[in-house]
């Protein structure tokens, strides 16, 4: 029955056509309509929706009275973050999404008449961090990634810690250093123990790495003391973004025991500017991997847990061409986002609008599907070929790292754009 419903939803969406000229390869199809915050030289940051290579200026639409019966004040959409709009609640998000979909598929609609006032070319806009992020939690939910890392440092027999298949493991990350795509980062400095040394040194990291992740955006507050079930995630998650949780492996390795990540992780994380609504991803739900042993009751769910989203990572050396170094899929996750949210709140921890739940590194089972250089180079043992005369075990200054992701099925494409970041020398 669930499969039949999914097919009906997909077929329904295939019938939608828009009067805008949109490339079939565009991440921002009529089926997507992601939210973001943009500005132009003449306009301060405001809320917009991506469609093709353009942005719908929601504030401009509201100022002309077209959201009046939805009880949306223009000021809510003239904010430098999505938080005020998110707080209006899921019924409002759905109503706006439906109205935009209707306008974009009707040959004679208000948006078509106002296209010169309300449609902005993405090439003319600057994208901003779309959220005020109060808290950020980074999970460790890919079995392939956890197994790879555990094998490297503890051996194949002890790759997964005894608790790993019983609960989604996570740590509390640093929200203040999350930046939007296009923001360059400087190579971080810190204390680490060089190989073969018996005393630590203070220096710029020699092992800068990317981590291919996705992050869920919390769209509804919970009360302190409240616990959620996995199935309730659909009511508490606005959507998803691409996420690059940078790591300085040498700094991280030295400080990791006994408490976990700190300076090796908190210097920067990069995210895509567009939040893809959960509703746009529903047609791409898939069954997750079989979970053995069976999770405890609070983590059990009968719904299709995962999403079929193609992901890739590319590295472009300074002055060189781009090389794709990893291709994987979000459906590889052992623990689902619903289970992450259930575990996060099982002790009564409260969620707030704008919080992020990151998946942790997403890796597949094949060597070219690993989501970090630590894995791709197998801890420095197998340099990764970038082009005919360059390899990498870790990132070098001048490298540009780009994460991309999209879901595609039966003529429907829903994408995330990209997270693009250049590595600058240490300050």
Q: What are the boundaries of each domain within the chain?
A: 2-128, 136-424
* Residue 28 CB neighbours (<10 A): 25
pLDDT tens, residue by residue, 415-426: 999 999 999 999
How far is the C-alpha of 315 from the C-alpha of 396, rounded, in Å? 10
How far is the C-alpha of 195 from the C-alpha of 190, rounded, in Å? 15
For residues 253 and 217, the answer to whether their CB atoms sit within 8 Å is: no
Asked whether residue 85 carries a pLDDT value surpassing 70, the answer given is yes
pLDDT tens, residue by residue, 324-370: 999 999 998 999 999 999 999 999 999 999 999 999 999 999 999 99
pLDDT at 16: 75
For residues 370 and 295, the answer to whether their CB atoms sit within 8 Å is: no
For residues 341 and 359, the answer to whether their CB atoms sit within 8 Å is: no
HSE toward the beta carbon, residue 206, CA cutoff 13 A: 13
Asked whether residue 1 carries a pLDDT value surpassing 50, the answer given is no
pLDDT tens, residue by residue, 203-252: 999 999 999 999 999 999 999 999 999 999 999 999 999 999 999 999 99
Which two three-digit tokens encode residue 233?
Answer: 């995630």
| Pairing mode, strands 276-277 and 237-244 | antiparallel
Asked whether residue 6 carries a pLDDT value surpassing 60, the answer given is no
Asked whether residue 54 carries a pLDDT value surpassing 70, the answer given is yes
pLDDT band at 306 (very low <50, low <70, confident <90, very high): very high
Q: What is the mean pLDDT of the chain?
A: 94
What is the mean predicted confidence (pLDDT) over 291-318? 97
What is the mean predicted confidence (pLDDT) over 31-45? 97
How far is the C-alpha of 30 from the C-alpha of 26, rounded, in Å? 10
What is the mean predicted confidence (pLDDT) over 146-172? 95
How far is the C-alpha of 391 from the C-alpha of 206, rounded, in Å? 15
pLDDT at 13: 43
Which CATH superfamily hosts domain 136-424?
Answer: Fumarylacetoacetase-like, C-terminal domain (3.90.850.10)
What is the mean predicted confidence (pLDDT) over 177-198? 97
Active site residues: 145
Give the alpha-carbon dihedral of 180, 96, 27, 241, to 10 degrees.
40
* Residue 297 CB neighbours (<10 A): 7
pLDDT tens, residue by residue, 266-299: 999 999 999 999 999 999 999 999 999 999 999 9
pLDDT band at 5 (very low <50, low <70, confident <90, very high): very low
pLDDT band at 108 (very low <50, low <70, confident <90, very high): confident
Asked whether residue 4 carries a pLDDT value surpassing 60, the answer given is no
Candidates 164, 167, 244; CA nearest to 208 is: 244
pLDDT at 293: 97
How far is the C-alpha of 272 from the C-alpha of 15, rounded, in Å? 29
HSE toward the beta carbon, residue 92, CA cutoff 13 A: 17
Q: Which residues contact 186 (CB under 8 A, 6 or more apart)?
A: 423, 424, 425, 426, 427
Which two three-digit tokens encode residue 329?
Answer: 């899929």
Asked whether residue 315 carries a pLDDT value surpassing 80, the answer given is yes
pLDDT at 12: 45
* CATH hierarchy code of domain 2-128: 2.30.30.230
pLDDT tens, residue by residue, 164-175: 999 999 999 999
Which residue bears the tokens 């296009």? 182
pLDDT at 19: 92
Measured CA distances, 423 to 106, 268, 370, 405, 427 (Å): 45, 11, 21, 21, 12
For residues 271 and 185, the answer to whether their CB atoms sit within 8 Å is: no
Q: Which range is least confidently modeled, 5-14, 102-111, 192-201, 271-280?
A: 5-14
Furthest CA-CA distance within the chain: 74
Candidates 135, 84, 347; CA nearest to 224 is: 347
What is the mean predicted confidence (pLDDT) over 399-419? 97
**Helix (H/G/I), strand (E/B), else coil: 288:** coil
pLDDT at 388: 84
């Amino acid at each position: 029955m669930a499969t039949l419903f999914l097919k009906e939803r997909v077929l329904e969406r295939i019938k939608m056509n828009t009067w805008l000229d949109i490339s079939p390869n565009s991440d921002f199809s009529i089926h997507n309509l992601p939210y973001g915050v943009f500005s132009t030289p003449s306009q301060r940051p405001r809320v917009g929706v991506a469609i093709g290579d353009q942005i719908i200026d929601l504030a401009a639409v509201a100022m002309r009275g077209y959201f009046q019966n939805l009880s949306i004040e223009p000021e809510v959409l003239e904010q430098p973050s999505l938080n005020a709009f998110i707080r209006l609640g899921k019924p409002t998000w759905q109503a706006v999404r439906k109205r935009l979909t209707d306008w974009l598929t009707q040959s004679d609609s208000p948006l078509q008449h106002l296209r010169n006032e309300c449609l902005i070319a993405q090439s003319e806009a600057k994208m901003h961090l779309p959220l005020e992020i109060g808290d950020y939690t980074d999970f460790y939910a890919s079995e392939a990634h956890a197994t790879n890392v555990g094998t490297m440092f503890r051996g194949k027999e002890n790759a997964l810690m005894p608790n790993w298949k019983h609960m989604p493991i996570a740590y509390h990350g640093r929200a203040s250093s999350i930046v939007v795509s296009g923001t360059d980062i400087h190579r971080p400095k810190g204390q680490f123990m060089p190989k073969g040394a018996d005393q630590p040194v203070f220096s710029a990291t020699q092992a800068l790495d990317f981590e291919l992740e996705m992050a869920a955006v919390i769209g509804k507050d919970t009360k302190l003391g409240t616990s959620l079930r996995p199935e309730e995630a659909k009511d508490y998650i606005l959507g998803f973004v691409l996420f690059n949780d940078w790591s300085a492996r040498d700094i991280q390795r030295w400080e990791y025991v006994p408490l976990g990540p700190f300076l090796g992780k908190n210097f920067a994380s990069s995210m895509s500017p567009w939040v893809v609504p959960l509703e746009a991803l529903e047609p791409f739900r898939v069954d997750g991997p079989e979970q053995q042993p069976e999770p405890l009751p609070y983590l059990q769910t009968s719904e299709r847990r995962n999403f079929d989203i193609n992901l890739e990572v590319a590295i472009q050396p300074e002055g060189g061409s781009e090389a794709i170094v990893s291709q994987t899929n979000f459906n590889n996750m052992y623990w689902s986002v619903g289970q992450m949210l259930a575990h996060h709140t099982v002790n009564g921890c409260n969620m707030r609008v704008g919080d992020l739940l990151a998946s942790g590194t997403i890796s597949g089972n094949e060597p070219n599907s690993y989501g970090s250089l630590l894995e791709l180079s197998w801890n420095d043992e197998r340099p990764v070929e970038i082009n005919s005369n360059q390899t990498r075990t870790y990132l070098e200054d001048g490298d540009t790292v780009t994460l991309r992701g999209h879901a595609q099925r039966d003529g429907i494409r829903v994408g995330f754009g990209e997270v693009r970041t250049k590595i600058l020398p240490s300050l």
